Amino acid sequence: MSLPYLHPYLGLSNGLNTLHAAGGAGGIGGWVELGRTTLGSAGDIITVSSLADKRYYMILSSEINSNVSPFMRLNNDSGSNYARRYYPSNLSTEYTQTVLDNIDINTLSGTPFKFQMGYWANYASKEKLGIIQSATPNTAGAGNAPVIIETVGKWANTSNAINRVDVINENIGDFASGSEVVVLGWDPADTHTNNFWEELASVELGSAGDTINSGTITAKKYLWFQCYTKGANTETQFRLNSDSGSNYASSRSSDGGAYSTFTSQTLSKINATGGGGSYTACFMNGFIINNASNEKLVITHQVAEDAGTGAGNAPRRSEGVTKWANTSNQITSIQIQNNSTGDFAAGSILKVWGAD
């Protein structure tokens, strides 16, 4: 069966035979690391400069310390040339801000660290558009739900490609040593083979079942996973390192609604239907910050078919963040778990990539 699949080199694949590692055919032309800055001591600015001109950027960033509030600037532009629309999961209202001198990517002050994952379209003669998810674990423990802000932003510059990214603290503390910004690039003309994302697992169910297990994977600081599940009366959730204890907490928005929180759960709670499993198919995309000594944050998006096939039935969606309240171990396996009465059908699939 042909499976819908968002390929990590920004393609949409329609078949299992095209599910390569995180690059183009044969691993050529995927996401390449353009620049990285990791703080060796405390500071208020993380700068990644001299970036190659690529059509698309992926930016991964993490800020360590409780009293920090990060914002982003591009090309060191501090003029009133930014605007954003955002929805924080700890509130119930969407906000817009215009004529800004930065794009705020802060999630919640007073939390131990923050993690952002974002895409930017980088065409020199067009305003630059970005989609950013910023997450924090909130207060420690599975009894406290994580917080996420979904932001779309633009830099109203139509003369220059992005060549510099600054993440700047505007609060009283400092970014601690180890805080980091990584900028990846992709362009249709790329032919490099030094792809940032390494394929760690590829698993397809040969028969119906309730779990798709990655098996043991190499521990990496950043993980990217995608799964496609099919089967009547299914609900697509996940566990990490086969932990079935009450060590998970999630914040989830279903179909654009207000965020719901779930604490002390035995698995994630990020299903797209928002109230019980009745999928017949689901696609999920997720990014993870995977430091052993921190609670693990998983930013996910789901689209699901649960009302019937055909263009007369709209799909369901969810956006959210899950934390795994483990501060001792890195993730070394991912389990896609059915949480309803049916079974995942044969042909359901899980892919995992990683990078340090």
Q: Are residues 340 and 236 in the same domain?
A: yes
Question: Would 292 be classed as within a structural domain?
Answer: yes
Q: Are residues 241 and 169 in the same domain?
A: no
Rounded Cα–Cα distance for residues 198 and 271 (Å): 27
Question: Would 152 be classed as within a structural domain?
Answer: yes
CATH number at residue 136: 2.60.120
Q: Are residues 334 and 212 in the same domain?
A: yes
Q: How many domains does the chain have?
A: 2
Q: Are residues 176 and 307 in the same domain?
A: no
124 CB-side CA count, 13 A: 7
**Which domain-ending residue is among 167, 186, 205?**
186
Question: Rounded to 5 degrees, what angle do the CA atoms 195, 350, 259 make?
Answer: 100
Write phi, then psi, for 142 (nearest 5 degrees). -70, -10
Q: Are residues 211 and 320 in the same domain?
A: yes
pTM: 0.90
Buried b (16+ CB within 10 A) or exposed e, 37-66: bebeeebeebebeebeebbbbbbbbbbbbe
Q: Are residues 227 and 334 in the same domain?
A: yes
Q: Are residues 245 and 273 in the same domain?
A: yes
Cα 217 versus chain centre, distance: 19
Q: Are residues 138 and 165 in the same domain?
A: yes
Q: Are residues 99 and 134 in the same domain?
A: yes
Question: Would 295 be classed as within a structural domain?
Answer: yes
Question: Would 9 be classed as within a structural domain?
Answer: no
Task: Decide: helix, strand or coil at residue 135.
Answer: strand
Asked if 237 and 270 count as a contact pair (C-beta separation under 8 A), the reply is yes
CA max distance for the chain: 57
CA atoms 298, 291, 62, 122: torsion sign: negative
Question: Would 207 be classed as within a structural domain?
Answer: yes
Q: Are residues 318 and 233 in the same domain?
A: yes
Asked if 84 and 72 count as a contact pair (C-beta separation under 8 A), the reply is no
Question: Would 2 be classed as within a structural domain?
Answer: no
**Which domain-ending residue is among 186, 216, 237?**
186
Quote the domain boundaries for residue 296.
197-355
Question: Would 6 be classed as within a structural domain?
Answer: no
Q: Are residues 223 and 322 in the same domain?
A: yes
**Which domain-ending residue is among 137, 166, 186?**
186
Tens-level pLDDT at each residue, the chain (356 residues):
333 334 443 433 333 333 334 544 445 678 999 999 999 999 999 999 999 999 999 999 999 987 888 999 999 999 999 999 988 887 777 889 999 999 998 877 668 889 999 999 999 999 999 999 999 999 999 999 999 999 999 999 999 999 999 999 988 889 999 999 999 999 888 888 889 999 999 999 999 999 999 999 999 999 999 999 999 889 999 999 999 999 999 999 888 888 899 999 999 999 877 555 578 899 999 999 999 999 999 999 999 887 667 788 788 899 999 999 999 999 999 999 999 888 999 999 999 999 99
Question: Would 192 be classed as within a structural domain?
Answer: no
Q: Are residues 228 and 333 in the same domain?
A: yes
